[in-house]
Amino acid sequence: MFGDVVKANRARLGMTQEDLAGRSGLGVRSIRDIESGRVGRPRPGTVRLLADAFALRDVVRDRFHESALVEPPGEPPDGSPAPAQLPADVAGFTGRAGYLRQLDAFLDEATRTPTAVVVAAIAGTAGVGKPHIGQGCRSVCPGYGRCTNCAPARSSR
């Protein structure tokens, strides 16, 4: 972890976090956050300031810069948090025929009353195949109404 490398260099020179902050131009809080691991990948400018403050040269400086590029363990490369829990298991992924029959019957009934506006919403747990159900009903839609793209609804929250 880059924070350990910074801490080791600071200790090697007998510097406090305040000393390093004064020498590098960084804030004490920034140094504390780097050393504690709260900052996994510091900005290149920050790494350069720290390398200058430690008076690192040549290969040692290159290794210091490389240590800042290594991904912290346990974090995805894009920086997004890893999920703490997987979603609940799907009870039944197959068996959509009954739902399609219900939806087809609903739409058939609606075609007999052309003055009605029909809205059908398909809801369910992620991964159960809602788009497939929506696409399955498209066979009854030609010439009647409009089947919309089965995109996830967006919450107004």
**Please, what is the Cα angle at 30 between 60 and 82, to 5 degrees?**
90
What pLDDT does 35 receive?
A: 94
Q: What is the pLDDT along the chain (157 residues), one digit of tens a residue?
A: 899 999 999 999 999 999 999 999 999 999 999 999 898 789 999 999 999 999 999 999 999 999 998 765 655 555 666 666 655 645 554 666 777 777 777 777 766 766 666 666 777 777 666 665 655 554 444 443 444 444 444 444 4
What pLDDT does 136 receive?
A: 54
**Please, what is the Cα angle at 22 between 21 and 27, to 5 degrees?**
35
With beta carbons less than 8 A apart as the criterion, state whether 53 and 24 touch: yes
What pLDDT does 70 receive?
A: 78
Q: How far is CA 87 from CA 36, 83, 128, 153, 157, in A?
A: 32, 9, 12, 19, 21
DSSP type of residue 151: P
What pLDDT does 15 receive?
A: 95
